[in-house]
Amino acid sequence: KCAYRHPGVRWRKVLYEPQPFPDNYVDERFLEELRKNIYVRRYRYWSVVFESGLVAQQLACVSVFVVLWWYMDRGLLTPHWLFGTGLLLSTVGYVAYDLVDGGLGRHQSGRTRWADLKSAIVFVLFTYGFSPLLKTLTESISTDTIYAMSFLMLLAHLVFFEYSTHMAVASSSLSLSVAIFASVCLASRLPGSLHAFATVTCAIEVFALWPLLLRRLKSHVPQGYVAVSLLVSVASVAVALSVTVVGGVLLALLLLCISLLCPYLLICLQLHKDNIHGPWDEAEITEDLSRFLR
């Protein structure tokens, strides 16, 4: 209508001069700059399955840790056996990590094997010395509260775990801290201080050392990463089935859903993605304007 009133005036997309058009007026050239899905990433199904393995692995590790604690609480597992088995598996994992790292006497981080050994000895002695304190640390708190706090802390561990370096809410220190806190809470409800010591050392092996090895296998030996992930997932379902059939079945379905179904849904929903970009986008100032702030 405005164009009909002013046939000799051509609309321009400027704000610094008055024009005989309403503020919301645009002509047919406005949509010439329309672009759709210019920043959309195209995923492949098996690549997404490969990347989702860390999520399933952390869930499986949490399940294994809880089942091991339940075994000790029922007297079906001795702390000596748990600590000895964990020490053996940690040694095997360290050797595997060292081989993947190049088999040199010094890791890429700059630490030597002797420094790693001293750190491990200090941690074991420190934890063993404070195990009586860990056992009596939460005696004044009710058992139901301890279980609720442990559940929330383990859930927070899964939420804040650093599955990828591009996650905004990821925090490896926070994730590890809440997992250790949950292990201390659960250890306080075991029969003796040696049980608490074995539980805390097991938590360090499961929540701190195992993810390091898994990431290194993922980046350097993808085939080994897939094989180990499948083995741990099957083992977690097996130990869960030994406690409760319903829990084992639910865990198996959840792992399958995370590893296979969720990537499939991502691929399917990606086809319906419709992001539009054009002249209505917000302006992005790339020039350094610090000189105007002085």
- Position 150 scores a pLDDT of 92
CB-based burial label for 62 (10 Å; 0-12, 13-18, 19+): buried
Residue with tokens 């383990």: 154
Stretch 274-291: mean pLDDT: 67
More confident residue, 112 or 5: 112
- The encoded tokens of residue 87 equal 């020490």
Name the DSSP class of 39: T
185 vs 243: CA distance, rounded Å: 21
Kindly report which listed range (66-70, 141-145, 240-244, 285-289) carries the lowest average pLDDT score.
285-289
Percentage, residues of the chain above pLDDT 70? 86
Beta-ladder partners of 112:
106
Per-residue model confidence as pLDDT tens digits over 198-257: 999 999 999 999 998 998 898 888 898 999 999 999 999 999 999 999 999 999 999 999
